[in-house]
A = this chain, B = another copy of it.
């Protein structure tokens, strides 16, 4: 069924990057409102092509029509939200320090004005599990184009035809909106992605995928003669801590919420809650043993499925792990949702063996005897995209558990579930390594645009030669921090 799309040749990649480098000059000089129009045109193009794109996606990914419709809506919303971000203007972080002969540093301050400007061409490696929202026209593409950067999009091998079709929609929409030729291109094949990342004209990379794959690309980006930022979103276990008080107050609700979250989209979210800590003497272990798990559903592709089977076999073969419950054969095709069981003592004695990401419909329930073990676990684990606490507002353990988890995760949740990452102004989708390779940035939400921008200061420039946002006449129209104060 899946028509193979040939890998892009090295020559072709080089040509496409040359075009992107030329487009960069034009695109960087466009007005934010022009880039907004182009993003809106892409969103409109996707809306128009929705039926045909979704049907290709269903063939290539095993994801349901409803799920894909929701994801496409998220994708077009995201494109339009970055357009709003451009209009609003504070993403430029425009700062104006007028000359000050009395500047208390002891030397007169010259007139200095600073804004964020685009990095240049970006290579985006798209994800397997979000064929729209983290793929060809996804968040990385939207934020890079919004920032003023051309995009070379490395298609994921899990949905090549969809990538090609979406790429055509994007290219056509950009052309119709008057964007420069070469602003966007899709490339295919593992080698083509590496070639692009190594090209000196490429100024940043972004990636969503596995730890080994992301680390390999991160290493390439950093070992170039000119290293470039590489924004990789790699992996996460997403622990959930249920306090004694919460377990006592809402055990059934928590069991139901957890079951729904870890099995959503067959557990193929980077924010899937992979480990749930519950009091051993609460109702939760028994409730979860008796939970009604959804039926087995095919995973995204055979590679994902074999990866899932491998980790699950490791875990079930671990002497300290039992199968708590399963909706059928966990290793069948498709695999049945499965809950495993261990204890906090056991996990603390072998965290590498037991605290692991298992991408797919499985999770580990960990019983604890003493709430303070939650602090021990939080202290021990490495970087996470999310950390979730189910607690009561007066839980004595909450402040310290939150404090530790804030050093470990990009987003903390209280009495909600980590799946379903809303695209908003305050969203943070990131976290310390290995959750990402760049914990100071986010890959979801409007702040994601900052990944593709760098500050440039202009000292003592005449008004007519300043970028628009730094001119005095932009006051009131574009947010400016004058002399350190927000306007």
Contacts and interface: CB of A to CB of B under 8 A. Distances in A.
Interface of A: 25, 28-29, 70, 73-74, 77-78, 84, 88, 90, 95-97, 103-107, 109-110, 112-114, 117, 119-120, 203, 218-219, 222-223, 226-229, 382-383, 393, 398-399, 402-403, 406-407, 409-416, 420, 422-428, 430, 432-434, 437-442, 446-447, 450-451, 453-462, 464-465, 479, 481, 483-486
Contact of A411 (B427, B428, B434, B456): B456
Given A110-B422, A414-B458, A486 B483 contact: no
Nearest to A75: B105
Given A229-B440, A434-B226, A109 B456 contact: no
Given A117-B406, A446-B484, A426 B461 contact: no
Given A107-B70, A457-B411, A481 B425 contact: yes
23 contacts: A78-B105, A95-B447, A107-B422, A109-B422, A112-B411, A112-B426, A114-B428, A119-B439, A219-B222, A226-B432, A410-B456, A410-B457, A412-B457, A414-B459, A414-B462, A414-B465, A415-B460, A425-B484, A428-B456, A428-B457, A440-B451, A440-B454, A479-B486
Contact of A402 (B84, B223, B460, B465): B465
A481 to B, nearest CB: 6
A42 B297 CA distance: 62
Task: Give the top 3 A-B pairs by smallest Cβ distance, nearest first.
Answer: A428-B457, A95-B426, A425-B484
Contacts of A120: 407
B105 A77 contact: yes
A17 to B, nearest CB: 16
Nearest to A438: B229
Given A77-B104, A226-B434, A424-B112, A459 B416 contact: yes
Count copies of this chain in the complex. Answer: 2
Contacts of A412: 456-459, 461
Nearest to A25: B403
Contact of A457 (B399, B407, B427, B462): B427
Nearest to A412: B458
B455 A428 contact: yes
Contacts of A462: 393, 414
A440 B423 contact: no
Nearest to A401: B465
Contacts of A434: 226
A261 to B, nearest CB: 13
Given A73-B106, A90-B486, A113-B426, A398 B456 contact: no
Contacts of A203: 432
Of A103, A112, A219, A456, chain B has the most CB atoms within 10 Å of the CB of: A456
A227 B223 CA distance: 13
Contacts of A84: 484
Nearest to A447: B455
Contacts of A446: 484
Contacts of A229: 438-440
A109 B77 contact: no
A351 to B, nearest CB: 14
A413 B455 contact: no
B483 A112 contact: no
A114 B227 CA distance: 29
Given A465-B402, A484-B446, A226 B410 contact: no
Given A227-B437, A415-B460, A456-B412, A96 B426 contact: yes
B105 A73 contact: yes
Nearest to A400: B25
B95 A29 contact: no
A109 B423 CA distance: 8
B455 A410 contact: yes
A4 to B, nearest CB: 34
Contact of A454 (B403, B427, B439, B465): B439
Given A95-B447, A414-B458, A414-B462, 8 more contacts: A90-B481, A97-B424, A109-B424, A112-B427, A222-B227, A412-B457, A427-B457, A440-B453
Contact of A409 (B222, B456, B460): B456
Contacts of A457: 410-412, 426-428
A422 B70 contact: no
Nearest to A434: B226
Contacts of A465: 393, 398-399, 402, 414
